[in-house]
């Protein structure tokens, strides 16, 4: 099993509903966020092009954060998701510096926190909060190893990119372009 997410940059309107849904679902402390929306503007007026991306942890297959963790708190879990066990984390921040996507942060309680792909929901057969709430249905979540899953199907049909593939992290967040 290999969980992944595909996000349609053509359908995303940048409403940030995914961000709020995540904060609510996961009880993210005020002032912090596990996902965020990036707006990329290219060109000069009037030749402008805009891309909107809802970003979060890439749940990389070759995660630098798991590699550098001195205690094993950062680990691979079900479906290749990258998680942090808070009772093993010493808050040394090595994983934060090792992440090219800046997807992690120090929770006010001291341990390092990040997106979990809402594994607690996924285990119950539900979608991650951000995917479930998206008003334009621009996010797809599922198992890459299952060719019939929504995410496998959409990646077969559409062109996509990943972020900083040259960093060698093998990210599992796909952006449909």
Partner 1 sequence: MREEIIVSGRNNPLIDPQLHVWHWEIPTYLFLGGLAAGLMFFAALYTIRNKENEYKTAVKIAPIIAPIALVLGLIALFLDLHHKLYFWRLYTTIRLESPMSWGAWTLMVVTPLSMIWTAIHMKDIFPKWNWKFEVIEELIEFFKKHKKTLAWIMLISSAILGIYTGILFSAFNARPLWNTSILGPLFLASGLSAGAALVIWMSKNHAERKRFAQLDLMIIGIELFLIIHMFMGFLASTQVQIDAANLFLGGAYTAPFWIFVVFLGMIVPAILEGMELKGFKIPVAIPVVLVLFGSVMLRFIIAYAGQASRWLY
Q: Least distance to partner 1 from the beta carbon of 117, Å?
A: 18
Q: Are 63 and 85 in contact (CB under 8 A)?
A: no
Q: Least distance to partner 1 from the beta carbon of 16, Å?
A: 4
DSSP codes, 70-128: SSS-EEE-GGG-EEE-TTT-----HHHHH-TT---EE-TTSSEE---TTHHHHTTTPPP
- 112 or 151: CB nearest partner 1: 112
- 104 or 172: CB nearest partner 1: 104
Q: CA torsion, points 25, 176, 10, 113, in degrees to nearest 10? A: 30
Question: Which residues would be at the binding site for partner 1 (CB under 8 A)?
Answer: 14, 16, 19, 31-33, 35-44, 52, 64, 67-73, 86-94, 96-100, 102, 104-106, 109-112, 163-164, 166-168
Strand partners, 141: 5
Q: Least distance to partner 1 from the beta carbon of 8, Å?
A: 17
- 45 or 159: CB nearest partner 1: 45
Half-sphere exposure of 26 (CA within 13 A, CB side): 26
- 146 or 168: CB nearest partner 1: 168
């Amino acid at each position: 099993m290999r969980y992944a997410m595909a996000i349609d940059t053509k359908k995303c309107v940048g409403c940030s509903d995914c961000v709020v849904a995540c904060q609510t679902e996961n009880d993210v402390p005020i002032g912090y966020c596990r996902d965020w929306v990036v707006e990329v503007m290219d060109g000069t007026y009037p030749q402008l092009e805009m891309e909107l991306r809802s970003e979060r942890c890439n749940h990389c297959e070759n995660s630098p954060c798991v590699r550098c963790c001195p205690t094993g708190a950062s680990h691979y879990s079900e479906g290749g998701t990258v998680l942090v066990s808070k009772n093993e984390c010493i808050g040394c921040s090595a994983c934060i510096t090792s992440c090219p996507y800046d997807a992690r942060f120090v929770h006010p309680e001291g341990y390092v926190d990040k997106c979990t792909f809402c594994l607690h929901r996924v285990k119950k057969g539900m979608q991650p909060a951000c995917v479930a709430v998206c008003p334009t249905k621009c996010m797809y979540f599922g198992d890459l190893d299952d060719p019939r899953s929504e995410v496998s199907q959409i990646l077969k049909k559409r062109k996509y990119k990943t972020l900083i593939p040259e960093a060698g992290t093998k990210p599992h967040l796909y952006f449909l372009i």
